[in-house]
Structure 1
Amino acid sequence: MPSLTVPQTPRYVPALPTKENLQYADLAIIDLSKAATVEGRAELAVELREALTTKGFCYIINHGYTQVQNERMFDIADIPMSGVPEDEKRAYTGDSKNTGIFQGYKPRQYWHIDAGVRDQHEHYNCNRHVYSLMHPQALRPFLPDIDAFVRHNHHNILHKICRLMALSLELPEDTFVKLHDFDAPGVSYLRFMKYFPRSEEDEVQTKNVWMKGHTGCSTLCKCCFAHTVADFGSITLLWSQPVAALQIQTKEGWRWVKHIENALLMNIGDSMEFLTGGFYKATIHRVVQPPIDQRGCTRLSMIYFSFLNDDVKLVPLMDSPVLQKVGVERKCEDDVAPTMKAWRVARISAYGASDLQKGKEPGIEEEVLNGIVVKHYN
């Protein structure tokens, strides 16, 4: 008979919110509780369209998880980093370059940032089908929690956002829900990620940038594709945490993203930009050194990266009256457009480390990864 005892977690104590006077992005707050009614969804669809066509990011509140549940999940998120021996981590290190799938560990110092400096963050990726693969011993007692969290992100948050996005484009409400079928072939996944403090010398060498914002293009369709840091899926759900480090590129320049307790941040990735013909664009974002009162602190994140079903072709949804009215920007001809799987494998397999070259545009560096030119906004 299964145990009814909930396993205790080691307590992860996050940093206090910064008191520094930072230039924050003015982001919309979407109250998901309003999605329970037809009228509420219609109202939220308008709010979401405004948010995604202006800033590209927005907050989600009243998403169905309590503050207590939130804190327990952050405790669990730290276990893969703090509770697993290094030799066991190596046994679960992912091989995304060869598999085209993010699963398992990405160790520290895996990616080149700038001037010979490598990253100081590690993460553990877990496929949405939590029990489909093995996990480190310390994490196994908490798999029911992780499975419930993944399903909540997918069914109770992502799918509600999908309905709002469909309404915002005047499409049938279930359009994007069907394209994000939990049981269809695809690789939406949960990431636990932890940034560690860097030396002052490394900060100087990289101009305090921990992970650069970038856009890129692929020879896959012999045309340009825009994408953001690792967000080449459809919709990303980032659970808010107190260490200020995330910045988004706005018309006014780089702006910080403010922490809101028990909220999450939502933004779109490449594939949703393709489906909307550029109406909704993937926003460039980066991670930088935290403000002075948070330096020396670790930064723990929980992120749900959603991907379309593998067989979805990345072409504009021209049944949308909104897209018919505003027009679309095709990245390539429909007959040569990739499927979600083809785009995913190309991007994940190519994502890695290489020396950056000076780009043609000021302040931009480029690297070529398996035929993909990636632009880094320095």
Structure 2
Amino acid sequence: MLDTPLAQVPTLSLNDQDADPVAFAAALGGSFERFGFAIVADHGIPHDLIDRAWRETAALFALPDDEKRGYFVAGGGGARGYTPFKTEIAKDAKHVDLKEFWHIGRDLPEGHRFADHMAPNIWPARPEGFRDTFLELFTAFDRAGDRLLSAIARHLKLVPDWFDRAVTDGNSVLRLLHYPPIPADAEGVRAGAHEDINLITLLLGAEEAGLELRDRDSGRWLAIKPPEGAMVVNVGDMLQRLTNHVLPSTTHRVVNPPPERRGHSRYSMPFFLHPAPDFLIETLPGCISAENPNRYPTPITAHDYLHERLVEIGLIKK
């Protein structure tokens, strides 16, 4: 399953944004328009913080199953804390995904206006230091995401800080993912073919083979293999809708490993960058033309859109 050709997604350095922000924006936007994906090196998240996060992620998922399930919130849509193995299912898929995960969101002060839409975080009793590590990592992802959104705004001929108002106190989620070892007779795949819901996704951990995108030109599945330590970034459905498909949200999946790797776990850390719940997703005028008429004449809030999609993937019941 892993003999798929490699996607020719370019690797960009976020350091180049400082030297030539216009050129970096053009390169990032061009990669998104072609693939819906980009690979970003020099993203600014400290290596020692990432290493600490990997250790604590592995320790978290090594906890006894009943201990982990004590952090599962039934009916919570997987918004915070633990979501057990074989819970999430890709839209229109026949089998549930072969994964378990943990969600960390933005810490809001008491009485915040978004408190009804953004649940408080759930912190495990162990591993020790988990809370501090992942609050620090959340902030680092936030900063990297802001820099990438600035480049996206330039590419779309918007002012560089256009997204600031959209993502201030945004409902972003840091997901810690564990794909356990795969038995030979496993039904389904680690993550079925899907598109992400949010604006952009920033992913660490894609060096381990398995992540594939569906090429829009050929329809073929292409493997994504970033350099060590680089981040994979992809467009989500909210940004696709906002840009009237100028920036496409590309279908992707995580396939099962070859026999020699089936006994190994796979870990990854995607940061789903969301706007604030009350942000109105309304097609950008600059993305509407005679050749590309407005696909979404009726705007929708980010909160309502997210709710619709969580129902589709089984994390919220109707």
Whole-angstrom CA distance in 2 between matches of 1:286 and 1:352:
17
**Per-residue deviation at 1:289?**
1.1
* Cα RMSD for the two superposed structures: 2.5
TM-score (norm 2): 0.86
* Partner Cα distance (1:116, 1:281) in 2: 25
Q: How many residues align?
A: 303
Inter-partner Cα distance in structure 2 for 1:329 and 1:308: 24
* Cα 1:45/1:292, change in 2 over 3 Å: same
TM superposition shift of 1:260: 1.6
Partner amino acid for 1:341?
Answer: H
Note if 1:49 corresponds to 2:29.
yes
1:245 pairs, out of 195, 202, 210, with 210
What is the one-letter code of the residue matched to 1:135?
W
Map 1:156-235 to 2 at 5 A: 157-181=144-168, 184=169, 186-202=170-186, 205-206=187-188, 209-214=189-194, 228=195, 231-235=196-200
C-alpha contact 1:188 1:306 (8 A) present in aligned 2? yes
Task: Tell me if 1:59 matches 2:47.
Answer: no
Q: SS of 2:45's equivalent?
A: coil
- Distance, in Å, in 2 between the alignment partners of 1:246 and 1:275 is 26
1:328–1:120 CA distance, 2 compared to 1 (3 A): same
Indicate the SS of the match to 2:52. helix
Match of 1:288 among 249, 252, 255: 255
The residue identity in structure 2 corresponding to 1:31 is: S
1:99-114 superposed matches below 5 A: 99-100=76-77, 102-111=79-88
SS of corresponding position for 1:255:
strand
Deviation of 1:116 (Å): 7.7
- For the 8 Å contact 2:153–2:159, the answer to whether it is kept is yes
Q: Cα distance 1:80–1:59, how it changes in 2: closer, same or farther (>3 A)?
A: same
Of 113, 126, 146, 1:138 maps to 126
Q: CA deviation at 1:268?
A: 1.1
Name structure 1 gaps, 5 residues minimum. Answer: 1-19, 215-227, 354-368, 371-378
Report the AA paired with residue 52 of structure 2: R
CA distance in 2, matches of 1:67, 1:109: 31
Mapped pair 1:341 → 2:306: no
Q: Distance in 2 between matches of 1:116 and 1:179?
A: 35
- Amino acid across the alignment from 2:31: A
With structure 1 as the length reference, what TM-score do the two structures score? Answer: 0.74
| Contact map agreement 1:101 1:187 (CA 8 A) in 2 | no
**Cα 1:93/1:343, change in 2 over 3 Å:** same
Displacement of 1:159 in angstroms is 0.4
Which residue does 1:359 correspond to in 2? none
Q: Which has the higher strand share?
A: 1
Give distance in 2, aligned partners of 1:30 and 1:116: 36
Distance 1:304 1:115, change over 3 A: closer
Task: Pick the aligned partner of 1:128 from 90, 100, 106.
Answer: 106
In structure 2, list runs of 5 or more residues that go unmatched: 110-119
Describe the SS at the equivalent of 1:44: helix
Equivalent in the alignment of 1:24: 6
| Residue number in structure 1 paired with 2:48 | 68
Greater Rg over alpha carbons, structure: 1
The secondary structure found in structure 2 opposite 1:138 is coil
Question: How many angstroms apart in 1 are the aligned matches of 2:17 and 2:166?
Answer: 19
**Per-residue displacement from partner, 1:90-146 (whole Å, max 9, x unpaired)?**
221134xx4456211110122468998544311011112289433110045232221
DSSP 3-state at the match of 2:185 = helix
- When structure 1 is superposed on structure 2, of 24-33 and 99-108 the one drifting more is 99-108
Amino acid at match of 1:170: K
Could you say which residue in structure 2 is the equivalent of 1:276?
Answer: 243
